[in-house]
Amino acid sequence: MMRKKSLIIGGHRGIGKSIYINLKKRGDEIFCVSRSTIKKKNFITADITNKIDQDKISNFFKKIKIDNLIFAQRYRGDDSEEEYKVILKATTNIIKNIKFKKTGSSIIILGSIASTTVIGDQDDVYHLTRGALETLTKYYAFKLGTNKTRVNCIQPTKIFKPENKSFFSKKNNLDRKLIEKITPLSRMGTSDDIANLVEFLTSEKSSYITGTIIPVDGGLRLVGQEQIAKMFRK
């Protein structure tokens, strides 16, 4: 079997790093785009909102055909205009300019439950752009299907990431306790939960799945407001 080539946008830390580790173990040849300077093979330092850096990425992959493209970039909550650029311009620009293998390829977009549920500690731009990601997923799944390119979106809730381990591990952490209390599976999701799903969606085992929005929330979406209120009255 030929070695897969996978490109991760934002593979330096958090969920992106877990995806990188998983696909590396599978034997993929990994390429990563990150704003941070990482001295590793196939790590490209670039800001995907910057036109010069977009051209840099396009030129790098001119002669390389990709099996898998994974968007795992972090939210830039400090600048609304930058976030619009990431979601509405940079994401579409990369999809249009990357060459995919015609034998079957996969695009994975990391979204959020904020597209369907209001998250109190996130702003309006976060909610708006996460909804846009799901629309882009459906559009490109339809548009690229004839090229045997599948496009799917993963919709996680709050995730336990390696870099915030010390924060969530505190005994009195209210965020963690609340999630554990109201989630049917009684635990927080981890970056490995997302990485495992990405591994599946970039494999032949998911060859008939495209245009889907997949929640990874431990069943949290099934819990109604009345049920939550009852839990806290106990």
H or E, element range at 59: helix 51-60
SS (H, E, C) 69-89: EEECCCCCCCCHHHHHHHHHH
- For residue 69, how many other CB atoms are within 10 A of its CB? 24
Tell me the per-residue pLDDT of 24-53, one tens digit each, with 9 for 90 and over. Answer: 999 999 999 988 888 888 999 998 888 888
213 by Cβ neighbours in 10 Å (0-12 / 13-18 / 19+) ranks as middle
Q: How far apart are CA 173 and CA 166, in angstroms?
A: 10
**From the candidates 20, 126, 139, 208, which is the catalytic residue?**
126
Q: Pick the more confident residue, 101 or 170.
A: 101
3-state secondary structure at position 93: helix
| Residue 59 scores a pLDDT above 60 | yes
Q: How far apart are CA 169 and CA 167, in angstroms?
A: 6
| Residue 234 scores a pLDDT above 60 | no
pLDDT at 210: 98
| CB-based burial, 161-188: b 16+ in 10 Å, e otherwise | beeeeeebeeeeeeebeebeebbeeeeb
- How is residue 30 written in tokens? 């990994």
Q: What is the torsional sign of CA 110, 12, 125, 229?
A: positive
Q: Which domains, and CATH codes, for the chain?
A: 5-164+190-220 (3.40.50.720)
pLDDT at 183: 86
Tell me the per-residue pLDDT of 203-231, one tens digit each, with 9 for 90 and over. Answer: 999 999 999 999 999 988 887 666 665 65
pTM: 0.88
Tell me the per-residue pLDDT of 114-172, one tens digit each, with 9 for 90 and over. Answer: 777 777 667 777 778 888 899 999 999 999 999 999 999 999 987 776 666 665 666 55
- How is residue 195 written in tokens? 């990485």
CA distances 205 to 24, 135, 198, 200, 227, Å, are 18, 24, 12, 7, 36
3-state secondary structure at position 18: helix
140 is known as an active-site residue: no
pLDDT at 165: 63
pLDDT at 168: 61
H or E, element range at 225: helix 225-233
